Amino acid sequence: MEQFPRRLLTVVTEAVLERELLAELDALGVRGYTITDARGKGGRGRRQSDWAQEGNIRIEIVCDAALAERVAARLRERYYDHYAMILFLQDVSVLRPDKF
């Protein structure tokens, strides 16, 4: 079975940013993503998911390396200063390259 290399970009950030971020991703040309509610602890303290104001979300995007870089650069430039946000990139393999 042939496999194709792609990048997985994971963003963990404040739930309040969801709408704004999705508009940003669409504008950058991201074709698909998965969002889940998340909770955890980090540089800006413990974040619960049971109170929408304080909750976190995790956005996962599988795309080619160039787009992943562009998205990561844009989010870093725009949101790192004032919002709780972390990004990480991983190599993944996909079976249907036309989807990603």
Partner 1 sequence: MPSLDPVIWFFVLGIAAGVARADLRLPAAIYEFVSTLLLLAIGLKGGVELAREGSGGLPAAELVGVLALGFLLPLPVYAVARGLGRLGRADAASLAAHYGSVSVGTFAVVIGYLAARGIAYEGRAPVWVVLLEVPAIVAGILLARGRSAGVAWGRLLRELFLGRSIVLLLGGLAIGWAAGPEGTASIQPLFFDLFKGILALFLLEMGLIAAAQLPTLRRHGLFIVAFGLLAPPLLAVAGALLGRALGLSPGGMTVLATLAASASYIAAPAAIRTAVPEANPALSLTASLALTFPFNIIVGIPLYERLAFALAA
Q: Does 19 bind partner 1 (CB under 8 A)?
A: yes
Q: Is the CB of residue 12 less than 8 Å from the CB of residue 60? A: no
Q: Report whether 15 contacts 57 (CB < 8 A).
A: yes
Query: For residue 64, what is the DSSP state?
Result: -
Q: What mask, x for binding partner 1 by CB under 8 A, covers residues 73 to 92?
A: --------xxx---------
Looking at the Cβ atoms of 43 and 45, the one nearer to partner 1 is 45
Type and span of the H or E element at 20:
helix 18-28
Determine if 52 is a binding residue for partner 1 (CB under 8 A): yes
CB of 88 closer than 8 Å to CB of 7? no
The answer to whether residue 26 forms part of the interface with partner 1 (CB under 8 A) is no
Contacting residues toward partner 1, per CB under 8 A: 14, 16-17, 19-20, 37, 45, 48-53, 55, 81-83
